[in-house]
């Protein structure tokens, strides 16, 4: 039986470390790191995420600058706000909550963010820095996955890794991070032939495809480490629903050496890594080691 990788506990430890770092930063810089979060419209899920991020910032001792704009905000107005935040010395990180209303070009908005304040790691500049091995910010979810893997396995050099999913937010940056750790990396996707056989050769499996419980235990190599990024709400009978990942947790636990649960695995790491990135952005801007 595999061990459960406790992402909730790791995230709590990381947040505590960030809070300690924020205190040390404040003693040197004379201010707290600042994160600006922009929410356009009233999407309920986005509003929940923004509240969670605000609460986490305050708990870590950071400044939280919230900008809530109506859904009919013009694209030019949003871009002007980002320009002001780019120039604001109190703001170290900028996060624009996605999705945006359909009349706004998301790529244009993301690209307006200064890469040195791109704590979400979504800009082309951030992606390019990651791909070429330069200092920059990595999208929070794959960064959290990497932290969990290194905590579990230590040195990842030489290990075979399969990532299921090729999104710009998870799959591609995850591949770059694992390449940086000297893994042999395969990115699998909807057109991969004989996907179970591809997955079965991997020491590390990162599932980020958005299909409930798609990855079965018999797809896995004995002793593999499995990171489940999926968050899917499915029917649980009697009108109820439950959250499941992209991995069939029960069967994976029979084969793998370690598996992240859903919920309580990768999810808590995302906000913790956002705080980590914001502190790093502040330290770089103030030239504090």
Is residue 228 part of the annotated active site? The answer reads no
> Do residues 220 and 200 touch, judged by C-beta distance below 8 A?
yes
Is residue 97 part of the annotated active site? The answer reads yes
| R_g of the chain computed on alpha carbons | 19
> Do residues 161 and 183 touch, judged by C-beta distance below 8 A?
yes
HSE-CB of 98 using CA atoms within 13 angstroms: 10
Catalytic position from the list 53, 117, 172, 221: 53
Q: Which of 253, 196, 197 is nearest to 228 (CA)?
A: 253
Catalytic position from the list 92, 118, 120, 246: 120
Both tokens assigned to 275: 């705080």
CA–CA separation, 283 and 21 (whole Å): 10
> Do residues 232 and 212 touch, judged by C-beta distance below 8 A?
yes
CA–CA separation, 231 and 245 (whole Å): 5
Cis peptide before 185 (omega within 30 of 0): no
Catalytic position from the list 92, 97, 118, 203: 97
Is residue 135 part of the annotated active site? The answer reads no
> Do residues 153 and 256 touch, judged by C-beta distance below 8 A?
no
Catalytic site residues?
Answer: 53, 97, 120
């Amino acid at each position: 039986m595999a061990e459960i990788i406790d992402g909730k506990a790791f995230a709590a430890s990381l947040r505590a470390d960030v809070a300690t770092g924020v205190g040390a930063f404040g003693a040197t810089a004379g201010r707290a790191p600042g994160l600006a979060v922009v929410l356009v419209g009233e999407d309920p899920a986005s509003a929940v995420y923004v509240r969670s991020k605000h609460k986490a910032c305050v708990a870590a001792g950071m400044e939280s600058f919230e900008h809530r704009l109506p859904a009919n905000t013009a694209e030019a107005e949003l871009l002007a706000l980002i320009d002001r935040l780019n120039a604001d010395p109190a703001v170290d990180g900028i996060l624009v909550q996605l999705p945006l209303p359909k009349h706004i070009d998301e790529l244009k908005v993301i690209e307006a963010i200064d890469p040195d304040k791109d704590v979400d790691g979504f800009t082309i500049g951030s992606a390019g820095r990651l791909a070429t091995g330069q200092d920059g910010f990595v999208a929070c979810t794959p960064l959290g996955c990497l932290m969990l893997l290194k905590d579990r396995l230590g040195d990842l050099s030489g290990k075979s890794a399969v990532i299921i999913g090729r999104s710009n937010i998870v799959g591609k940056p995850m591949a770059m991070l694992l390449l940086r750790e000297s893994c042999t990396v395969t990115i699998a996707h909807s057109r991969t032939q004989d996907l179970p056989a591809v997955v079965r050769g991997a020491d590390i499996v990162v599932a980020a495809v958005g299909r409930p419980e798609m990855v079965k235990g018999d797809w896995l190599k004995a002793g593999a480490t499995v990171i489940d990024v999926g968050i899917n709400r499915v029917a649980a009978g009697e009108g109820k629903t439950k959250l499941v990942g992209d991995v069939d947790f029960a069967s994976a636990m029979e084969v793998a050496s370690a598996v992240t649960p859903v919920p309580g695995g990768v999810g808590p790491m995302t906000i913790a890594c956002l705080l980590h990135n914001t502190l790093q952005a502040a330290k770089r801007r103030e030239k504090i080691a």
